[in-house]
A and B are shown apart, each in its own frame.
Chain A
Amino acid sequence: MKLNLYEDKNSTDERVDVYYSNMRPVIRQLIDTVNSDRPQLKGRPADEDLDDGEEIFLDPKQIYYLDHVERKLFAYTRNGVYRVMDTLASCEEMLWNYGFVRVSKSNLVNIYKITQLKPDLNMKVYASFDNGERICINRSYKKSFTEYLQRMRRLSE
Chain B
Amino acid sequence: MREYLKETLIELCCAYTIISVVGAITNIFYGSETNNANVIIMFIFCAIAVFVLSLHKLLIRFSPLVMIIIQFFVSLALCCGVVFAASFIEPVTPKGWFDFIRSFLIVYALGAGFYYFRVFSEAKKQDKLIRQIQENHKEE
Q: Which residues of A contact B (CB under 8 A)?
A: 1, 24, 26, 99, 111-112, 114, 116-125, 138-140, 142, 145-146, 149-150, 152-153, 156-157
* B123 engages A117 (CB within 8 Å): yes
Check: B130 CB closer than 8 A to any chain A CB: yes
| Interface residue? B89 (CB, 8 A) | no
B60 touches A138 (CB 8 A): yes
Query: When the two chains form their complex, are residues A124 and B130 in contact, meaning their CB atoms are under 8 A apart?
Result: no
Q: Which residue of A lies closest to B112 (CB)?
A: A123
> 30 A-B residue contacts at CB 8 Å?
A111-B134, A112-B133, A117-B123, A118-B123, A119-B119, A120-B63, A121-B65, A122-B63, A122-B64, A122-B65, A123-B63, A123-B65, A123-B116, A124-B64, A125-B123, A125-B126, A138-B60, A140-B57, A140-B60, A145-B126, A149-B126, A149-B129, A149-B130, A152-B129, A152-B133, A153-B129, A153-B132, A156-B133, A156-B136, A156-B140
Interface size class of B (residues with CB under 8 A): 20 to 34
Number of A-B contacts (CB under 8 A): 69
B122 lies within 8 A of chain A by Cβ: yes
Q: How far is the CA of A157 from the CA of B132 in the complex (A)?
A: 9
Q: How far is the CB of A133 from chain B (nearest CB, A)?
A: 16
Task: Point out the residues of chain A lying under 8 angstroms from B125, CB to CB.
Answer: 146
- Indicate with 1 or 0, residue by residue over B85-108, a CB within 8 angstroms of chain A CB atoms: 000000000000000000000000
Question: Smallest CB-CB separation from A145: which chain B residue?
Answer: B126
The reply to whether A153 and B64 form a contact with Cβ atoms under 8 Å apart is no
Across the interface, do B120 and A119 meet the contact criterion of CB distance under 8 Å? Answer: yes
Instruction: Among B63, B64, B126, B137, point to the contact of A156 (Cβ < 8 A).
Output: B137
Residues of B within 8 A of A146 (CB): 122, 125-126, 129
Report the Cα distance A123→B65, complex, angstroms. 6
Q: Which residues of A contact B22 (CB under 8 A)?
A: none
Q: How far is the CB of A77 from chain B (nearest CB, A)?
A: 18
